[in-house]
Amino acid sequence: MTSTKEQVAAYLLQSKAVILQPDAPFTWASGWNSPIYCDNRVTLSYPHIRSYIKEAFVQTIREHFPETGVIAGVATGAIAQGALVAEAMELPFVYVRASAKEHGRKNLVEGRLEPGKPVLVIEDLVSTGGSSLKAVEALRSAGARVLGMVAIFSYGFPQSEEHFREAGIALHTLSDYSHLIQKARESGYVSPSHLDILEDWRENPSAWNPR
């Protein structure tokens, strides 16, 4: 039986939300060189994939965070995903901006959030965890009791895991890097030589340079 992590990995490859490009690496905003680029917003364009991810989110939340009272999406990639999940679970929805508005009410958290409410954060992607945990801090500053976070995909970097531990936030993901590479190997999505490059990058991404 195919697990959720395997199926989501397959869908990310199928929709080309994740692009594996060892021969022409990308440069992330952090300055890291990377043979992989992930844009999970692409999955929203495929109804059957969108629905599967939504239901996987709902199942994970009910299993690990049953007391969830509010769903919070992280801008911009997880706003739509979070709204879909909130609708399916019949829960209030808010979203967290990357930075506060410069006009009007200058909100960082958009929507009505009552202090003390148990909030579950929806994220599309976790890399180092910095921006994701910034959203958690914004919610806490607004008076929320953040239960944890569920993301579509994580690279599983050790520094990210450490950041989440330090913040006291439980993270669950629908899929991850190891399942993605396994599915890419099984499907012949990339060549064996490229798989070696992808595995080398994952060992030390901040220092990796294309040869």
Model confidence at 188: pLDDT above 90? no
C-beta contacts of 19-22 below 8 A and 24+ residues apart: 20/184, 20/189, 20/190, 20/194, 20/198, 22/190, 22/194, 22/197, 22/198, 22/210
For the segment 2-25, what is each residue's pLDDT rounded down to a tens digit? 899 999 999 999 999 988 888 889
Q: Which residue has the higher pLDDT, 195 or 13?
A: 13
Q: Taking the alpha carbons of 13, 199, 177, 139 in that order, is the dihedral positive or negative?
A: negative
For the segment 74-101, what is each residue's pLDDT rounded down to a tens digit? 998 999 999 999 999 999 999 999 876 5
CA 119-45-120 angle, to 5 degrees, is 5
Q: What is the pLDDT of residue 16?
A: 94
- Average pLDDT over every residue of 146-165: 95
In degrees and rounded to multiples of 5, residue 175 shows phi and psi of -155, 175
Residue 136 CB neighbours (<10 A): 24
Nearest one of 152, 135, 137, 43 to 95, comparing CA atoms:
135
Beta-bridged to residue 171, according to DSSP, are 149
> How far is 146 from 208, CA to CA, in rounded Å?
35
Q: How confident is the model at residue 195 (pLDDT cuts 50, 70, 90)?
A: confident
> How far is 155 from 163, CA to CA, in rounded Å?
14
59-73, 113-127, 143-157, 186-200: least confidently modelled range: 186-200
Q: What is the pLDDT of residue 24?
A: 87
Q: What is the pLDDT of residue 192?
A: 84
* pTM listed for this prediction: 0.92
Residue 114 CB neighbours (<10 A): 11
